[in-house]
Structure 1
């Protein structure tokens, strides 16, 4: 039996990988928006260090947001797992925007970035939340299906 935190960590890892694939497409195909790992690295005082940005992105998405989602999942206000994930991820986006604007560098969203990058990050967080909620719900459902005693017939 897996704890909610473990399920959240697994779901957070899968969601982080999904968002990373989208970010790689932005980074290597069209580069329309500032790369999210670059923004994360700048938030942590390492501007231009993309490797550190990717590492922080993976750790935050997997361990911090994933485990926190597992803890707060039953208390989230919506009814479906995907919308619970989206609400959670948009809340994380709002918190990140507050941190950037209150204690971050004022030049984070200037020049060629700006509203487009902010919108891109919101969209990525919504995708993150949808994948997070979906994977978490599948893990919960798989555990429920496997909880029947050996040899018991399904009740349907």
Structure 2
């Protein structure tokens, strides 16, 4: 049986992989928007170090966003797991934009940055949230099915 934190880490990791595929396609083929790992590296004053940006991106998505989502999941006001994830991810995007705007380097968004990059980041955060919510709900349902009954009462 997995704890909620482990379920959140797993859901966050899978959602990060899904978004990373989109980011890799943008980075390798399109380069229309500033890649999120590059923005993350600049936020942490690591220059354009993509390896560090990817590592931080996975740590934040898996070890911070996933468990935090698992903790507040029952308190989110929407009805479906996907919309709970999207709501959570959009709130995280707003917080990130505020932090970057207030405390970050004004050159964080450079090059092709602009409204398109902000929109791209919002869209990828929404995808991240939808995937994370779906995976988390599936892990909860799987555990509920595996838990079975204890003396005629549900385990959860």
- Work out whether 1:78 is the aligned partner of 2:78: yes
The CA distance in 1 between the partners of 2:54 and 2:109, in whole Å, is 19
- TM-score, normalization: structure 1? 0.93
Deviation at 1:110, TM superposition (A): 4.1
The CA distance in 2 between the partners of 1:124 and 1:72, in whole Å, is 21
**Aligned residue runs from structure 1 range 48-87, under 5 A:** 48-87=48-87
Structure 1's consecutive aligned runs of 4 or more residues displaced over 6 angstroms after TM superposition are none
Q: Deviations over 1:109-144 (max 9, x none)?
A: 245211100000000000000000000000000011
The CA distance in 2 between the partners of 1:149 and 1:81, in whole Å, is 24
**Equivalent residues, number:** 151
Runs of 5+ unmatched residues, structure 1: none
Q: Deviations over 1:34-62 (max 9, x none)?
A: 11100000000111111100000000000
Runs of 5+ unmatched residues, structure 2: none
Q: Which residue of 1 aligns with 2:102?
A: 102
Q: Which residue of 2 aligns with 1:29?
A: 29
Q: Which residue of 1 aligns with 2:10?
A: 10
Q: Deviations over 1:89-115 (max 9, x none)?
A: 001101110110001011222452111
The CA distance in 2 between the partners of 1:21 and 1:112, in whole Å, is 20
Deviation at 1:2, TM superposition (A): 1.6
- SS for the counterpart of 1:146 is helix
**Matched-pair contact (CA < 8 Å) for 2:34–2:111:** no
